[in-house]
Amino acid sequence: MLKRGEVKILVVEDDKFLREILVGKLEKEGYTVFEASNWNVAQKHIQGDRPHVILLDIVLPGIDGFEVLSTLKRNRETSAIPIIIISNLGSREDVDRALRLGAKSFMIKAHHTPQEIVDAVKKTLEEYYLRR
């Protein structure tokens, strides 16, 4: 069973302000948090740090989060990592596409506080790692 200090979370978000808020809140919960503003940095953390949960924005520089999600879910080494989409895209099409590609959940940033996103991470950790 994982202890909080052992839990690694990757926040992939190009909005520096929101990324810093999420990182700060997650660190206060006792998690080890890595951050990336783009796919290149995210890849390095995924390969080197092996996060237990990924918070992923859809709109990223140079690549969209749907492509990132699809890539991670097709890769045997990363397919089991739960991914929570955090985005301001919120059409039914976008939500359905993300869930179809394997996202654990889809949170529209404008509809959720940073604390609600942190709570979703906690719930995901419980579902994936504590009840197995």
Q: Where do the domains of the chain lie?
A: 4-125
If pLDDT is split at 50, 70 and 90, which confidence band does 60 have?
very high
Helix axes 65-74, 39-49, angle to 10 degrees: 30
If pLDDT is split at 50, 70 and 90, which confidence band does 4 have?
low
Buried b / exposed e along 61-95 (16+ C-beta atoms within 10 A): eeeebbebbbebeeeeebeebbbbbbbebeeeebb
Res 94 pLDDT > 90: yes
For 20-53, what is each residue's pLDDT tens digit?
Answer: 999 999 999 999 999 999 999 999 999 999 999 9
Q: What is the average pLDDT across 51-68?
A: 96
Asked if 98 and 78 count as a contact pair (C-beta separation under 8 A), the reply is no
pTM metric for this prediction: 0.94
How far is 42 from 45, CA to CA, in rounded Å? 5
CATH class of the domain comprising 4-125:
alpha beta
